[in-house]
Structure 1
Amino acid sequence: MHPELPNPAARPAITGPIFAALLAAVAFAFPGEAFAHAVAEGDKGYIQEISGVHLMSFLYLGAKHMVTGYDHILFLLGVIFFLYRMKDIGIYVSLFAIGHSTTMLAGVYFNFGINSYIIDAIIGLSIVYKALDNMGAYQRWFGFQPDTKAATLIFGFCHGFGLSSKILDYEISPDGLLPNLLAFNVGVEIGQLLALGAILIAMGFWRRTPSFLKYAYTANVVMMAAGFLLAGYQITGYFLA
C-alpha cells in the first residue's frame, strides 16, 4: 500500500513547518467546538428554528461542515497519503463516503444516535489508526496488514454516526426531514471533494520534492499525535460532562 520509509532512527525528530503548524493549530488555535464533530452554534440555532424543505440551506450546511471538519480532513489526509493513482483515491474516498452517508442518514432518520463524546473519541482514534497504518506499524508489530478498504468503510460509518448524533441533539424538525437530510448529505460530499482537491494539490507539490520521503514518517507521527489529542479531548469531556 505504501512504499518503504527510511529507518525511523535516521529521521529528524522535528518535521517540516507545515506539519508542525498542523499540530499546533489543532492543539491551540481552534476553539473547543472545533475538537468535536459538531455543527456551529449559529447553524445549530438555524436547524432548530426552521421547518419544511430547505434544500439549498442544508446543502450549504453540509458543505460547510465537511470543509471545516478537522477530523474529516485529517482522516482523508491519512487515507490518500500514499495513494498516487486517481483510481485508488476514488475507491477509498468512495468507501469513506458510502460509510459516512449511510450512518448519517440512517442515524437521523431512524432517530438512532451514539454518545457524542464516545463517537468523537473513536473518530480521533481513526486518525491514529490510519497514521499507524501509513507508518507500517501493524506489519512490524503483528506481522500482517489489516484490510485497508474495510477499515476505511468502517471508520466512514463512525464519522457518519458522529454527525448524526450531533444533528439529533439539535432536534431537527421532522417536517421535510428526508429531503433536507439528502441535501445535507450532498453538501457533505461536495465539501469532501473540495477538501480532497486542496489536499491533493498540496500533496502533489510536496511529493515532487526530496523532503516527501524524508519527512513522510514524521508527518504521520504528527497526524497520530493530533488524533490522540482529539480523542483525549473527547474522553475528558465525557467524564467531565
Structure 2
Amino acid sequence: METRRSVSTKNKKGRSYLFRFAGSLLLTVLAAGLPLSAQAHGVAESDAAFIEGASGLHLVPFIYLGAKHMVTGYDHLLFLFGVVFFLFRMRDVSLYVTLFAVGHSVTLLYGVLSGTEVNPYIVDAIIGLSVVYKALDNLGAFRTWFGFQPDTRAAVLIFGFFHGFGLATKLQDFTLSEAGLVPNILAFNVGVELGQLLALTFILLAMTAWRQTPSFSRRAVLANVGLMVAGFGLMGYQLSGYWLAV
C-alpha cells in the first residue's frame, strides 16, 4: 500500500512539474510573439503573383498550391498530429481524418465561392485553440477537470470547419479571376487533401516507429504538453497580430 501511494505521489509530482514547465514555456512563447506583426497570411511572392494573374483553368498549379499550403501549414499539421496521436487502428485514423477533411473542405469552398469573409487573425487563433483542445483531450484533462468527455468526432469536424475558413482567408487576400474560379478552387481543395494525405503518411510512419520504443509510454504526456504549449503559442501569436492590426 505504501509503495502504491509513493508511486502515485511521484506521478502527481511529475505531472505538476510538467504543467509548471509548460506554463513557463508558454509565457516565454507569448512574450516573444507580442512584438511581432504576426501576419496571418504567409504566401510566397511567386505563388501570390501567380494567383493574382491566373485567369482561366489552371488545375495542376492550383492542386500544387493546395498541397504545398497543407504540407507547410504547421498549424494544420499540429492538429492532425494530435488527432492521430492515440489512434492505433487505421479504421479510426480514416474516420477522424475524413471528418477533418469534410470540415475544412466545406468551409474552404463556401468561404471562397460565396465571398464570406472572417477575420483571419481570429480564425487562426481558433485554429491554435484546436491544437490546445486536442492536446488536452489526449491528456484526459476534460474528464479529470470537468467529469465528462467531449465527443471527439464532433470536435474534429467542428474544428475542421475553422481550419477550412483559415485556408479560405489565404485565398481571399487576392483578387481571384472569375474565369475558371470554381474548377481552380476545387483543384486547390484537391491539392489540400493530397497534401494532407502525404503529411499524414509521414506522421503515421514516425508515430508507428516511436510507438515501438519504450520511450513512447514515458514521453506521451510530455509530447502532448508540448503540443498544448505550441497551440497556446499560435493563439498568442495571432491575437497579438489582431491587437496590432486594430
TM-score (norm 2): 0.85
Q: Aligned residues, how many?
A: 223
Secondary structure in structure 2 of the residue aligned to 1:172: coil
The TM-score with structure 1 as length reference comes to 0.87
Tell me whether 1:139 sits opposite 2:129 in the alignment.
no
Cα distance change, pair 134–33 in 1 and its aligned pair in 2 (3 A)? farther
1:129 aligns with 2:137: no
1:47 equivalenced with 2:51 (yes/no): yes
2: CA distance, partners of 1:138 / 1:49: 48
Q: Determine the structure 2 residue equivalent to 1:72.
A: 76
**Secondary structure at 2:43 match in 1:** coil
Pair 1:224 & 2:228 matched: yes
Give the 3 Å change call, closer, same or farther, for CA 33–44 of structure 1 in structure 2: farther
Query: What secondary structure sits across from 2:116 in the alignment?
Result: coil
Distance in 1 separating the partners of 2:241 and 2:91: 40
* Distance (whole Å) between structure 2 residues aligned to residue 8 and residue 208 of structure 1: 26
Cα gap change, 1:45 to 1:33, in 2 (>3 Å): farther
Separation of aligned partners in 1, 2:216 and 2:17: 15
Letter in 2 for 1:187: G
Q: Which residue does 2:202 correspond to in 1?
A: 198
Alpha-carbon separation, structure 1, partners of 2:38 and 2:156: 23
Deviation per residue, 1:129-153 (Å, 9 max, x gap): 1000000000011000000000000
Distance 1:134 1:227 in 2: 14
* Higher helix residue share: 2
Deviations 1:51-96, CA, capped at 9 Å, x for gaps: 1110000000000001000001100000000000000000000000
Give structure 2 stretches of 5+ with no counterpart.
Answer: 1-9, 19-27
Find the counterpart in structure 2 of residue 120 from structure 1. Answer: 124
Superposition pairs of residues 144-159 of structure 1, within 5 angstroms: 144-159=148-163
Shift of 1:165: 1.6
**Residue aligning to 2:192:** 188
